[in-house]
Amino acid sequence: MRPSTNDGVPVNAQRWQLLRHGLLWHRPESFRRSVAYVLILIVASVAVQRRAWSVDGASMPDGHAIVSLDLAIARA
């Protein structure tokens, strides 16, 4: 008997699909699945590059940025 999951899709087929989706350019599937994949990628990137997700701008050498901030404070 072939190993299968609850929804009836063979485990081997699922493994191949995961491998294809992980490494190869493949036929597009549902948007919901894409969103789920991207959420996984976000979590993975936070795990790998946590520092890249936060910044602490300790300098502001750009005159345009200073003027923009001044105007934004005045308008807000």
Partner 1 sequence: MDLAARMELRHVPLRTLIAEKTGSVDAYCRGVNEPFVNNENSLMLLETAILRTMPGLSLAQLGQVLHWIRIACVVSFVLLLVDLGGSLALGFATLLCGLMLLQAMPDHVYSNYPFLFTLVLLDVAVLGFAIKYRWTDRPAGLVWFGAVAGVLSAFIANMRTSYLPIVGVCFAAVLLDELRARGRTMPLGRRALRGLTLAGCFLVAYGAFQTGLITRYLPADGRARAAHPLGHPLVLALGIPENAFSREQGIRWADEAGPQLAARVDPSVTFMGPGYNTALLGYYRSLWRTHPREMVAVYTLKFSLAGSDMLRVLRRSPGLAGRAVSVLLAPVALLPNGFWLLGLYVAVGCGAFALYYRRDLPAAFALALLSVAACLVHVESAIIFSIFVKQYHNYAAFYVLFLSLLGAQALANAGWRLASRGRTAAASPE
Residue 3 sits in the site that holds partner 1 (CB under 8 A): no
Residue 60 sits in the site that holds partner 1 (CB under 8 A): yes
Q: What string of H, E and C letters represents the secondary structure of the chain?
A: CCCECCCCCEHHHHHHHHHHHHHCCCCCCCHHHHHHHHHHHHHHHHHHCHHHHCCCCCCCCCHHHHHHHHHHHHHC
Residue 42 sits in the site that holds partner 1 (CB under 8 A): yes
Name the residue nearer to partner 1 (CB basis): 1 or 76.
76
Residue 13 sits in the site that holds partner 1 (CB under 8 A): no
- Positions in the binding site for partner 1 (CB under 8 A): 20-28, 31, 34-35, 37-38, 40-42, 44-45, 48-49, 51-62, 64-76
